[in-house]
Structure 1
Amino acid sequence: MERTAENTVIGFIGTGVMGKSMAGHLMSKGYKLHVYSRTKEKAESLVAQGASWHSSPAALAPLCDVIITMVGYPRDVEEVYLGDQGVIPFAKQGALVIDMTTSSPSLAKRIEEEASKRGIWALDAPVSGGDIGAREARLSIMAGGSKEAFEQAVPVLEAMGTQIVHQGPAGSGQFTKMCNQIAIASNMMGVCEALIYAEKAGLDPSTVLKSIQSGAAGSFSLSNLAPRVINGDYAPGFYVKHFIKDMQIALDSAKEMNLDLPGLSLALSLYERLARMGEEDSGTQALFKVYLQQQ
């Protein structure tokens, strides 16, 4: 069955930096929305627009045809889905659950297994694009799960993203997101090193950026995060603490594959140093502060 605004009630769990924008887009498309967040205040703007707030995932789940989660860590995902007051024990048969958190591939597989036992469809569908992509509804969404579950989800996902790709069975979305994070990790080191090098060479980093962001060095981080660094803006589009979590998941899964990723290992060590500097709630572009320490 195609999930449209006319026949679908959506539950959204996790209304943080990205989740709030994503949920807002669903409401703007006409979907009736139920929300849960551990901090009720984070959902107040959505409630003011007509969303219904609930005190637990268990209270929300039986009212919804589709349940989307965008929380912080794998432990949060596990609790929200499989805990005593979680989604899976209380969702109705035939419901579709979509975890858009960046989480563990093995946990995504486990959630699908438990969901299927209860006649519930499940997808892991992490995203890339940060706060900008969430705000502008142009996230890249990488989905893992059955083809049938994916086809049901597409109309809903289209409200939040523009690049929506089915990557394969359960866990495939999370594996793909790890590829994304691996590429970003080394790229952020390159962005920061280019900026500090420009400063040391006596160049204007903003002028340098005009030349290099549209050439072979171009990337999302160079175009969107480097200007924030230059302006001293370290507010989170994506938290340092969550990026550290992602890199650790990637390294753990790489270890299971007997795969060495030295660039990722170095990036993780630098971000862990940044967190020890008290910057875990800053945006990932705050990595530049590690390089500033060397001056």
Structure 2
Amino acid sequence: MPVLAHMGRRILHTGPLGSASVLKVVTNYLATANLLTLCEALVTSKVAGMDLNTTYEAIRISSGNSFVHETESQVILNGSRDINFTMDLVYKDIRLFSEVAKRGNLQLELAPMMVEIIEDGQKRFGPREHSPNIIKRLEEAAGVDILAPGFPPEMVDDEPEVPGDEVNVKGRDDAR
């Protein structure tokens, strides 16, 4: 069994040296975008009078579902908001993503807004605050608390432990 099979569930050969780092900031950027939109969706649902347990399930079974929703929304609704990731780390990843785009002469539209939101969150709550607490900005603005019973205080990984498996990239001739 290859050594990498012991390190993770899915193994993706990304290409030349440095490509995995680019993809890491890309995926972290997407996770942050998802977190920010989930915060808006949860607060909007609350001010619209929706039950937050029902809102969670509606998102989970719909086109709005994601890994971020299934994990981070639970700790937001629990109130712990602990995912072992902080606002300063989110900020670093968004800035790195923006730098990758800038090197490619790409003018981004959403990333600058995300940077501003995270900068504001760091100023208000501190750079070492749990990243899901970015929702506090909207909770304070709306005068609501986004809490619901029955959710765990920390992210739970219930995927069974199995040796890693290589991911085949569609359309790539050199699939391993």
Alignment of 1:112-123 (within 5 A): none
Secondary structure, counterpart of 1:181 in structure 2: helix
User: For 1:256, which of 103, 107, 111 is the aligned residue?
Assistant: 103
1:207 aligns with 2:50: no
> So what's the TM-score if we normalise by structure 2?
0.75
Alignment of 1:261-276 (within 5 A): 261-276=108-123
Matching residue's letter, 1:227: Q
* 4+ runs deviating over 3 angstroms: none
Q: Distance in 1 between matches of 2:86 and 2:5?
A: 25
What number of residue pairs does the alignment pair up? 142
Q: Distance in 1 between matches of 2:121 and 2:88?
A: 10
Aligned to 2:132: 285
Q: Distance in 1 between matches of 2:135 and 2:108?
A: 22
Greater percentage in strand: 1
1:84-135 CA-partner distances (Å, limit 9, x unpaired): xxxxxxxxxxxxxxxxxxxxxxxxxxxxxxxxxxxxxxxxxxxxxxxxxxxx
CA drift of 1:285 comes to 1.1
Q: Is the 8 A contact 2:82 2:130 kept in 1?
A: yes
Alignment of 1:124-273 (within 5 A): 154-155=2-3, 157-273=4-120
Q: Is the 8 A contact 2:75 2:83 kept in 1?
A: no
- After TM superposition, the structure 1 stretch with the greater mean CA deviation from structure 2, 197-206 or 233-242, is 233-242
Matching residue's letter, 2:114: A
1:247-291 CA-partner distances (Å, limit 9, x unpaired): 111111211111122212211211111111133223221110111
Which ranges in structure 1 are unaligned for 5 or more consecutive residues?
5-153
Relative contact order (C-alpha < 8 Å, sep 6+): which is higher?
2
Secondary structure, counterpart of 1:259 in structure 2: coil
Secondary structure, counterpart of 1:167 in structure 2: coil
CA drift of 1:195 comes to 0.3
What value does the CA root-mean-square deviation take over the aligned residues?
1.6
Percent of aligned pairs sharing the same letter = 24
Secondary structure, counterpart of 1:217 in structure 2: coil
Aligned to 1:105: none
> So what's the TM-score if we normalise by structure 1?
0.46
Q: Is the 8 A contact 1:251 1:264 kept in 2?
A: yes
Which ranges in structure 2 are unaligned for 5 or more consecutive residues?
143-176
Q: Distance in 2 between matches of 1:213 and 1:260?
A: 33
